[in-house]
């Protein structure tokens, strides 16, 4: 489903800039599902070593940077950065669980790099959902303001 939505959003991005942030989010999510879930988690019943996870996170960061540049050059920098805002507010982590059809965890200890995570190291499910929704609002308000100038 994630893959099909990415293909649909690629086509839609040529018609509306509002599809670009979602394209960034779901393409990054697809990388996370294929790279983290299917490569690191499903291959064994135990969590991978911390060094392997760190190496994966470097690859993920480089993929997201490359994705930002490609989408920025193709569709404009503001829509592409709005996609990064969605990721920074934890929306991609929420999408990860939704597309894997897993229940959202009650405690999110790995989102220390998000705005709420800067102030509180361990976030609850409600805080993560609020933060992700806030990311959508900020992202699309920025996009709406810049496109209507």
pLDDT, tens digit (0-9, with 9 covering 90-100), for 87-143: 999 999 999 999 999 999 999 999 999 999 999 989 999 999 999 999 999 999 999
| Position 39 confidence tier, pLDDT thresholds 50, 70, 90 | low
| Position 31 confidence tier, pLDDT thresholds 50, 70, 90 | very high
Which residues lie below 8 Å from residue 125, measured CB to CB, with a gap of 6+?
A: 104, 105, 106, 107, 108
Domain enclosing residue 131, as ranges: 2-147
Backbone angles phi, psi at 49, to 5 degrees: -60, 150
DSSP state of 106: S
Q: How far apart are CA 149 and CA 135, in angstroms?
A: 22
The model's pTM: 0.90
The domain total for the chain is 1
């Amino acid at each position: 489903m994630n893959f099909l939505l990415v293909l649909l959003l690629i086509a839609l991005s040529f018609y509306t800039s509002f599809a670009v942030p979602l394209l960034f989010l779901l393409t990054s999510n697809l990388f996370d599902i294929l790279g983290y879930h299917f490569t690191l988690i499903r291959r064994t019943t135990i969590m991978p070593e911390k060094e392997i996870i760190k190496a994966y996170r470097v690859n993920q960061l480089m993929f997201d940077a490359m994705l930002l540049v490609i989408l920025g050059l193709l569709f404009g920098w503001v829509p592409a950065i709005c996609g990064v805002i969605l990721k920074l507010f934890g929306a991609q982590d929420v999408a990860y669980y939704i597309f894997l059809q897993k229940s959202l965890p009650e405690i999110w200890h790995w989102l220390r790099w998000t705005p709420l995570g800067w102030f509180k190291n361990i976030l609850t499910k409600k805080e993560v959902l609020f933060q992700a929704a806030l990311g959508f609002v900020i992202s699309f308000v920025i996009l709406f303001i810049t496109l209507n100038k």
